[in-house]
Amino acid sequence: MTKKQIILTFSLLFLGTATYACDICGCGVGSYYIGILPEYNKRFIGLRYQHKTLQTHLGPQGQVTPLTTDETYQTAELWGGWNFGKRFRALAFVPYNFNQRSSQAESGAKNGLGDIAVMAYYNLFTNSSSLNSKLLVHSLWLGAGIKLPTGTYEPSEKLAVQESPNNFQLGTASTDFTLNAAYDVRLNDLGINLNVNYKMNTENKYQYRYGNKLTTNALLYYKLRLFHKFTIAPNAGVLYETATKDIENNKYNVDVSGGYSTSLVTGFEFATNKFSFGANYQIVVAQELANQRANAGNRLMLHVSIPF
């Protein structure tokens, strides 16, 4: 790797970490955590399952009150990837959301299609070399994407829960855009995977704009090859998400929005030439969300995919 490539890689991967942001970190209106992609040469299709929890309507200093609401967000997501030659790659995500909430006063649920997203990547470089008689391989992919307003958005939800984040939605009713970077470096079977996703939101027709989102993760993994047929890759790392405040009527900041969350991630990836599956668990270790009016719980993700 040349000096110029090193500077470019890390500038892209860590640009804006201190200053940009995300909506209540992955609940409700979607998560843009990708992590380690399943192994495939041409294309793959699969399912992802995500389970997330959130406490809202907390008191001014984050204390539990009689109005505190427990929210659960589950997503079953059809996703897939397609390589076009060696330089281009496309990813698509079609989520179906199951949202539930309960408090001392009431309970409710919303189920339905979420916001469909498509991302395209360009392989800036993939290099292989030898380091102390070991194989060193690294690659950098840069991309952009679009999220479509296919999920239902209820403007009355925001009016009904003014002291709670506007998160209990199936979609945002806005067309949004993403910038993405993925870097992977591996020395023999030990590797590091880095992903950055910056989501730029637009105002929806109800004059509400969710805060821009930054999602970054770094995972250390080790590939164990068994019987020349299977590969299992345990991994561990950190996930950081942050959010600017939402904006109403093109000028008013929404007080109960924005914030940051840091999670420790542990998981594994298992692959054969016929299918792959994986799981990870995200343990929240630091957070400050919605002006301390929301508290995110730990998260679980499972996926299975078939290359073809």
The full DSSP string for 230-265 is: EEEEEEEEEEEEEEPPPEETTTEEPSS--EEEEEEE
- Where do the domains of the chain lie, and which CATH numbers do they carry? 3-307 (2.40.128.130)
Q: Which residues pair with 277 in a beta bridge?
A: 270, 304
Whether the per-residue pLDDT at 286 is higher than 80: the answer is: yes
On the 0-12 / 13-18 / 19+ scale of CB atoms within 10 A, 79 is: buried
pLDDT of residue 1: 54
59 vs 238, residue with greater confidence? 238
Strand order of the sheet with strand 208-209?
A: 208-209, 247-248, 252-253
Residue 165 is predicted with a pLDDT of 86
* High-pLDDT (> 90) share of the chain, %: 71
Q: What pTM value is reported for the model?
A: 0.87
Of 31, 102, 68, 100, the C-alpha closest to 293 is 68
pLDDT higher than 70, residue 49: yes
